[in-house]
């Protein structure tokens, strides 16, 4: 067997250095030379080299030693960036939005915290390659629907199994914080029907949340006591929902609170403080700018976005959604950018571009899709910047990846040199000149036009 693989490797080394010919992602030793490296953690390196071995970056700099046998990628005139991280998507959980059988985000019931998104991720989702060829290498994918819809996970966008894709072991419990005033003035046409009482509904939802949390605390106490010394004790009741909440109570797992409206954010801040939860992040936060001072004061990190959205109120300035994250950052809130997308997570880069243009600035926007989220999720030892020892999640481009005129030329995830291909590219290649393989002329309608 070893002989066979050695032969394959030997054969591989004779192949010219064209990314497109070898359609299989491979780890190995690579050196991207003479490129402009945006490390994010430590500024820009002009004419630098990045060396990758296995799944790690082993060297970054101007005069670095390139291991023998490394595949060279000439980065002259090119840029290297850390792979982008999207802090909120449903990538891999939905194949075709309107076909319910292909949508695994929303389980039956309001209280299903134990539903594990990672389980439902389809590593072969067509949208995954479509996303990564735009330079996004890691995403948070989240369940949705009820009050506690499940547990989100961080995944790298390359892998044949969920375990291979799971990034940094990151899981977060999702809490859809109850919303005051229902949907406000935003009308989705739902026919007539009985008048709803938003205040009563809100109170019911908050009561429910508090009841769940109180029980979860008790559950945890019981479980801990039983685990410490089971002798003489009846076995505790089994509640998988509560098992899923336990790690949040102990602070071992992050709670991701999905909240958007001004009043709801304030209520959520109060609630997490009352419950003494410190391992918390807010997600969505579309009105975060209104209470940015309170968020900064509370020290709660926010996964903000999408930027490409309409303002939340008719009275708001037209560019409020673009500027929201910048205003929050100005007030001292720790932020990351989320696209909230399913099939167009690739637009994360453009969300970041708009955030930059409307107040955040390019540097902060870049950080908000790289090192920023990595720090928030506690995986910055491995992700988020181009530094020696970190995972080789990075890409090579011919320009600023936020600009639409930029092309992504090479992609590394977990050190795998992932081919730049996707269904969209395949269709392009096939249909750009559809009939070039044909010898007889094509008859097209109409004959007598």
Partner 1 sequence: MNRFTLICAALVFLLAGSVSAQDVLFRNATVLTITDGDLENTDVLVSGGIITEIGSNIRAPRGITEVDATGKYLMPGIIDAHSHIALTSVNEGSSPVTAEVSMEDVVNPYHLGIYRALAGGVTTSHTMHGSANVIGGQNETIKHRFGTKDPDDVRFEGAPRTIKFALGENPTRVHGNRGSGGTGAIVPATRMGVEQVLRGSFENGKRYMEAWDAYTAEAATNPRAVPPAYNNRLEVMADILRGDVLVHCHSYRADEILMLTRVFNDYEVRKITFQHANEAFKVAPELAAYGAYASVFADWWSYKFEVYYSTSYNAAILMRNGVVTSINSDSGELNRHLYHEAAKSQRYGGLNDAEALSMITINPAIQLGIQDRVGSIEIGKDGDLTLFDGHPLSVYAIPAMTFVDGIKYFDRFEDADDMRLQISPSAEIGTFEGQITGRDHIHDETEVLDFFELFGEDILTTIDSQ
Partner 2 sequence: MLFFGAILLITGLCPTSVHAQKDSADIPTVSTTYAIEGARIVQAPGRVIDSGTIVFRDGVIESVGRRATVPYDAIIIDGSGMTVYAGFIDALSRVGVAAPERTPMAPVADTSNPTYERAGITPEKQVRTLLNPSDKSVDAHRKLGFTTVHTVPHGNMLPGSGAVALLHGKNADAMIIRNDVSMAFQFSGARGVYPGTPMGIMAKFRQLHKESSRRLRLEQMYASDPAGMARPPADIVHTAFFPVIADEKPVFAHTTNALEVYRALTLKTELGLTMVLTGLSEGFDTIDKIKTSGNPVALTMGLPDKPKWAAEIKSDSLDQILASYTDETRTATFRDVEAEKRNLEAKQLVTRQKYVEMPKMYAEAGIPFAFTSYGVDSKDLSTNLKSFVEGGLSSDAALAALTVNAANILGLSASMGTLDAGKMANVIVTSGALFEDDTTIKYVFVDGHKFEYDTKTKKDDAPSSRRRGQ
Q: Is 285 in the site for partner 2 (CB under 8 A)?
A: no
Task: Return the residues of window 299-328 that contact partner 2 according to CB under 8 A.
Answer: 315-317, 327
Which residue number, 142 or 380, has a Cβ lying nearer to partner 1?
142
Nearest Cα neighbor of 105 from 341, 357, 281 is 341
Q: Supply the minimum distance, in Å, between the C-beta of residue 99 and partner 1.
A: 6
Counting Cβ atoms within 10 Å, is residue 123 exposed (0-12), middle (13-18) or buried (19+)?
Answer: middle
Which residue number, 27 or 406, has a Cβ lying nearer to partner 1?
406
Stretch that binds partner 1, among 29-37, 106-114, 271-279, 432-440 (CB under 8 A): 432-440
Q: Which residues contact 81 (CB under 8 A, 6 or more apart)?
A: 38, 40, 135, 366, 370, 386, 394, 395, 397, 401
Q: Is 445 in the site for partner 1 (CB under 8 A)?
A: yes
Task: Return the residues of window 153-212 that contact partner 2 according to CB under 8 A.
Answer: none
- Phi and psi at residue 44, in whole multiples of 5°? -105, 140
Which residue number, 209 or 408, has a Cβ lying nearer to partner 1?
408
How far apart, in Å, are the Cα atoms of 320 and each of 80, 223, 285, 340?
31, 47, 12, 17
Binding partner at 193 among partner 2, partner 1, none, C-beta below 5 to 8 Å by kind: partner 1
Q: Supply the minimum distance, in Å, between the C-beta of residue 172 and partner 1.
A: 21
Binding partner at 331 among partner 1, partner 2, none, C-beta below 5 to 8 Å by kind: partner 2
Binding partner at 404 among partner 1, partner 2, none, C-beta below 5 to 8 Å by kind: partner 1
Instruction: Using CB under 8 A, count the residues that bind partner 1.
Output: 77
Q: Is 253 in the site for partner 2 (CB under 8 A)?
A: no
Q: Which residues contact 115 (CB under 8 A, 6 or more apart)?
A: 107, 143, 149, 150, 151
Stretch that binds partner 2, among 5-13, 29-37, 249-257, 285-293 (CB under 8 A): 285-293
113: number of Cβ within 10 Å: 25
Q: Is 306 in the site for partner 1 (CB under 8 A)?
A: yes
Binding partner at 356 among partner 2, partner 1, none, C-beta below 5 to 8 Å by kind: partner 1
> Which residues share a beta bridge with 394?
82, 412
Give the gyration radius of the chain's Cα atoms.
24
Which residue number, 94 or 292, has a Cβ lying nearer to partner 2?
292
Separation CA 110–CA 4 (nearest Å): 54
Q: Supply the minimum distance, in Å, between the C-beta of residue 294 and partner 2.
A: 8
Task: Return the residues of window 332-361 that contact partner 1 according to CB under 8 A.
Answer: 339-344, 346-347, 350, 353-354, 356-358
403: number of Cβ within 10 Å: 12
48 close to 59: Cβ distance less than 8 angstroms: no
Separation CA 334–CA 282 (nearest Å): 11
Q: Supply the minimum distance, in Å, between the C-beta of residue 442 and partner 1.
A: 6
151 close to 173: Cβ distance less than 8 angstroms: yes
Using the rule CB under 8 A, which residue among 431, 436, 439, 440 binds partner 1?
431
Which uninterrupted H or E stretch holds 170? strand 166-176
The token pair that represents 282 in the structure block: 């807010």
Q: Is 407 in the site for partner 1 (CB under 8 A)?
A: yes
Instruction: Using CB under 8 A, count the residues that bind partner 2.
Output: 13
The token pair that represents 260 in the structure block: 């958007």
The beta strands (E) that lie in 321-447 are given as 335-337, 394-397, 408-413, 416-418
Using the rule CB under 8 A, which residue among 292, 301, 336, 394 binds partner 2?
292
Stretch that binds partner 1, among 36-44, 71-79, 307-315, 366-374 (CB under 8 A): 307-315
Using the rule CB under 8 A, which residue among 241, 243, 260, 387 binds partner 1?
260
Estimate the crossing angle of helix 348-355 against helix 320-330, to 10 degrees.
70
The token pair that represents 93 in the structure block: 């959980």
CA 353 to the chain's CA centroid: 17
Which residue number, 262 or 341, has a Cβ lying nearer to partner 2?
262
Which residue number, 320 or 391, has a Cβ lying nearer to partner 1?
320
Q: Supply the minimum distance, in Å, between the C-beta of residue 97 and partner 1.
A: 4
Judged by DSSP in three states, 357 sits in helix
Residue ranges in contact with partner 2 by CB under 8 A: 262, 289-294, 315-317, 327, 330-331
């Amino acid at each position: 067997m070893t002989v066979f693989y050695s032969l394959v490797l030997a054969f591989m080394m004779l192949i010219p250095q064209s990314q497109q010919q070898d359609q299989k992602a491979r780890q190995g030793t690579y050196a991207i030379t003479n490129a402009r490296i945006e490390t994010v953690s430590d500024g820009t390196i002009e004419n630098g080299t990045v060396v990758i071995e296995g799944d790690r970056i082993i060297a970054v700099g101007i005069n670095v030693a390139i291991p023998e046998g490394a595949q060279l990628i000439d980065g002259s005139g090119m840029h290297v960036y850390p792979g982008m991280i999207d802090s909120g998507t449903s990538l891999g959980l939905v194949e075709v939005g309107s076909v319910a059988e292909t949508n695994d985000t929303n389980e039956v019931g309001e209280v299903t915290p134990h539903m594990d998104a990672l389980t439902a991720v389809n590593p072969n989702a067509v949208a995954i390659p479509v996303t990564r060829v735009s330079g996004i290498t890691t995403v948070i994918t989240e369940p949705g629907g009820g009050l506690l819809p499940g547990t989100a996970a961080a995944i790298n966008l390359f892998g044949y199994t969920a375990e291979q894709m799971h990034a940094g072991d990151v899981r977060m419990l999702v809490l859809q914080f109850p919303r005051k005033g229902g949907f406000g003035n935003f009308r989705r046409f739902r026919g007539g029907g009985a008048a709803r009482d938003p205040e009563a509904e809100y109170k019911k939802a908050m009561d429910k949340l508090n009841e769940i949390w109180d029980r979860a605390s008790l559950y945890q106490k019981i479980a801990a006591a039983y685990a410490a010394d089971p002798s003489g004790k009846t076995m505790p009741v089994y509640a998988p929902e509560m098992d899923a909440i336990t790690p949040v109570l102990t602070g071992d797992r992050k709670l991701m609170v999905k909240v958007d409206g001004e009043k709801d954010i304030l209520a959520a801040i109060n609630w997490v403080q009352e419950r003494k939860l410190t391992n918390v992040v807010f997600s969505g936060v579309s009105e975060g700018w209104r209470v940015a001072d309170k968020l900064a004061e509370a020290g709660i990190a926010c996964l903000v976005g999408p930027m490409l959205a309409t303002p939340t109120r008719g009275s708001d300035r037209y560019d409020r959604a673009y500027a929201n994250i910048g205003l929050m950052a100005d007030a001292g809130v720790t932020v990351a950018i989320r696209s909230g997308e399913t099939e167009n997570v690739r637009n994360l880069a453009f969300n970041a571009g708009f955030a930059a243009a409307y107040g955040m600035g390019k540097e902060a926007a870049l950080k908000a899709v790289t090192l920023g989220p990595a720090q928030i999720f506690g995986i910055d030892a491995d992700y988020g910047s181009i530094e020696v020892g970190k995972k080789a999640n990075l890409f090579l481009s011919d320009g600023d990846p936020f600009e639409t005129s930029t092309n992504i030329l090479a992609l590394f995830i977990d050190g795998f040199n992932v081919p730049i291909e996707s269904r969209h590219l395949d269709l392009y290649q096939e249909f750009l000149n559809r009939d070039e393989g044909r010898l007889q002329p094509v008859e097209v309608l109409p004959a007598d036009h």
